[in-house]
Amino acid sequence: MTQSPYVLVLFYSRHGSVAEMAKHIARGINKINGIEAKVRQVPEVSDTTKIASPALPDAGAPYCTLEELADCAGLAIGSPSYFGSMAAPLKHFIDQTSTLWLTGRLIDKPACGFTSASTMHGGQEQCIHSMMTPLLHHGMVWLGLPYKNKELINTTAGGTPYGASHLANSTNETALTDDEKALCEAQGKRIAEMAITLQK
């Protein structure tokens, strides 16, 4: 059975903000005919290098398999900003993708990034860039978020031309502003449209 094309929305989230963003990105993807969102998360990594999580998460999206990444038509990848970079669990997952790199499975597929951070200038853009680097090694086509989305100009919280972001503040506020939601959805639509275009 051939499966219908999907954009993989892949993320790590400890406190729920990035998970909330993933829902809005998926909503944008699902508004485009002919493609759907598949939402997946990565497990925690352990201090003792043993597997830290059960095979199925207690809550939220299922854990992503390498096959699900290999077969996607596009990828939206999200992480909290940790010291201006992606969080270790997501990097750990990416570091297991050498076979996909060797076989060129992700070449010419579109990818984009999203993040949540507690401070306005604490490295949101830099975190998105950290997710871009390995995906360029994979030959993916990186997408930003154009300023035709007026929320980028008006936002007083998250939102960058490099990808959607959320300002969670020190209280780990998971509720997105209307501008942040709109930018997540716009990013979802854009990656879905580009996935369809690049599949042809």
Ligand X SMILES: Cc1cc2nc3c(=O)[nH]c(=O)nc-3n(C[C@H](O)[C@H](O)[C@H](O)COP(=O)(O)O)c2cc1C
Summarize as ranges the residues that interact with ligand X (CB under 6 A). Answer: 13-19, 80-84, 116-119, 122-123, 168, 172
| Token reading at 5 | 């094309």
Considering the complex, what minimum distance in angstroms separates the CB of residue 46 from ligand X? 15
Strands (E), 47-177: 74-80, 110-117, 141-142, 165-167
Nearest to 77 by CA among 130, 4, 5: 130
Q: Report the residue number whose CB is nearest to ligand X.
A: 122
Comparing CB distances to ligand X, the nearer of 13 and 73 is 13
Comparing CB distances to ligand X, the nearer of 39 and 168 is 168
Considering the complex, what minimum distance in angstroms separates the CB of residue 2 from ligand X? 34
Comparing CB distances to ligand X, the nearer of 50 and 121 is 121
Q: Is 113 exposed, middle or buried (0-12, 13-18, 19+ CB in 10 A)?
A: buried
Comparing CB distances to ligand X, the nearer of 79 and 149 is 79
Considering the complex, what minimum distance in angstroms separates the CB of residue 42 from ligand X? 12
Nearest to 27 by CA among 189, 197, 177: 189
Name the DSSP letter for residue 142: E
Answer left, alpha or beta for residue 56, where phi above 0 means left and psi between -120 and 50 means alpha: beta
Considering the complex, what minimum distance in angstroms separates the CB of residue 124 from ligand X? 7
Q: Are 8 and 167 in contact (CB under 8 A)?
A: no
Q: Are 181 and 28 in contact (CB under 8 A)?
A: no
Considering the complex, what minimum distance in angstroms separates the CB of residue 32 from ligand X? 25
Comparing CB distances to ligand X, the nearer of 30 and 118 is 118
